[in-house]
């Protein structure tokens, strides 16, 4: 894939040095979505692995990972605000019932949303 600098150099050969390359809003949005999905997937994987270590082997990493989770939580709040951060953490930590069934999130209109994937979570948050 050609980077912006490479594109710029090629364009400058044809039209001169007064050319700038700006990413389209659509590709910026796609990049933000991909970054969100990757981040939430990583957070979920880390949380599940921490719990599995504790349940299977009695290894409690909370003293080690608590600072990490706190930092990530602060960044999520900065980016999305408190209400959306609550929804994100609910999705990562509490979206499954004790029997393993997926819980939904109810909106003000009484509709219950089943958010199975980080992409569905992203789209839900964007609609709020």
- In whole angstroms, give the CA distance from residue 128 to residue 62: 32
pLDDT of residue 12: 75
pLDDT of residue 21: 66
pLDDT tens figures, 60-70: 888 888 999 99
pLDDT of residue 19: 66
pLDDT tens figures, 15-38: 777 766 676 778 889 999 999 999
- With a cut of 50, list the residues of the chain below it in pLDDT: 1
Instruction: Please give the backbone phi and psi of residue 72, each rounded to the nearest 5 degrees, phi first.
Output: -65, -40
């Amino acid at each position: 894939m050609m980077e912006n600098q490479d594109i710029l150099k090629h364009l400058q050969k044809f039209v001169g040095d007064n050319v700038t390359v700006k990413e389209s809003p659509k590709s910026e949005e796609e990049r933000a979505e991909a970054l969100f999905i990757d981040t939430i997937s990583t957070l979920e994987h880390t949380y599940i692995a921490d719990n599995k270590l504790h349940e299977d082997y009695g290894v409690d990493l909370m003293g080690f990972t608590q600072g990490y989770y706190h930092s990530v939580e602060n960044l999520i709040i900065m980016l999305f605000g408190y209400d959306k951060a609550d929804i994100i953490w609910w999705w990562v930590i509490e979206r499954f019932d004790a029997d393993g069934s997926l819980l939904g999130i109810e909106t003000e209109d009484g509709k219950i949303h089943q958010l199975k994937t980080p992409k569905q979570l992203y789209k839900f948050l964007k609609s709020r």
